[in-house]
Amino acid sequence: MGRFDGRVAVITGAARGIGFGTATRYAEEGASVAIVDLDETAATEAAAKLPLTEGAQAVGVGADVSDAASVDAAIERVVTELGGIHVLVNNAGITRDNLLFKMTEEDWDLVMGVHLKGAFLMTKAAQKHFVEQKYGKVVNISSISALGNRGQANYSAAKMGIQGFTRTLGIELGPFGINVNAVAPGFIATEMTDATAARLKMDVEEFRRLNAEANPVKRVGHPEDIAAAVTFLSSDEASYVTGQTLYVDGGISLGT
């Protein structure tokens, strides 16, 4: 018996990185999985790699989470092809880092569009089904950058916004059998942090080593670390937990 037998989990931005690691965990635990990502081919290829259990299915859906029509079509397609929706993980993300004086309006709008508007549109489209069936789980991906991070005014504002969004939906949707929580990752070794290393003109391994050294548990995080927290928060074991943000960061946000 897996914790997600008979459930359908939709994970955005899951063609790679944290999203793919999380999709893999849902598949291992019995769910049918929809991988939603910008590029349909990448999403379909990732879906084909999932370790599905017997009777479960996977689908890759090309969609831009910041576009309402694209989101509505994606959710309807998942419901038709996989027979429903029970779990939504709002994970799709981008960075457009710069100090405030160099940050463009486009940098601001793009980041807000994917993280905040994307989570809003996806959750709104899914909640219709969740309310009808009086069951649903939403996990939003925030970040330790919500607490403030030089060069990330746009990303930090979006990621703290995600926490307010999560708390509010915890209040609004609780009466309908829907739990809404957030996970705030610390440094996770993915293409996103590799791109940060490149921007800082640092070697990827050296960047990871320095981040591990600065962390109380002396290692960097991996997509599996986030997948474990996300699946717990969307499982029936966590049905009395809602509106919360769980920091999964090796303790770095505790300060020194």
- Smallest distance from the beta carbon of 132 to ligand NAD, in angstroms? 25
Of how many residues is the chain composed? 256
Q: How far is the CB of 157 from ligand NAD (least distance, A)?
A: 13
Among this protein's residues, is 155 annotated catalytic? yes
Active-site hit among 26, 155, 240, 247: 155
Q: Which is nearer to ligand NAD, 123 or 193 (CB)?
A: 193
CA 256, CA 251: separation in Å to the nearest integer? 9
- Residue entry with tokens 């309006």: 105
Q: How far is the CB of 57 from ligand NAD (least distance, A)?
A: 21
Kindly list the residues in this chain that would bind ligand NAD in the complex (CB under 6 A): 12-13, 15-19, 37-38, 64-66, 91-94, 114, 118, 141, 143, 185, 187-188, 190-193
Q: Residue 184: in which H helix or E strand, if any?
A: strand 178-185
State the Cα–Cα distance between residues 174 and 165, nearest whole angstrom: 14
- Residue 52 or 147 having the CB closest to ligand NAD: 147
Supply the minimum distance, in Å, between the C-beta of residue 78 and ligand NAD.
Answer: 14
Query: Which of 37, 135 has the CB closer to ligand NAD?
Result: 37
Say whether 57 sits in a helix, a strand or coil: coil
Q: Per the structure block, which two tokens stand in for 255? A: 């300060």
Q: What is the DSSP letter of 116?
A: I
Residue 201: CB partners within 8 Å, gap ≥ 6? none
Nearer to ligand NAD, 19 or 250 (CB): 19
Q: Which residues carry out catalysis?
A: 155
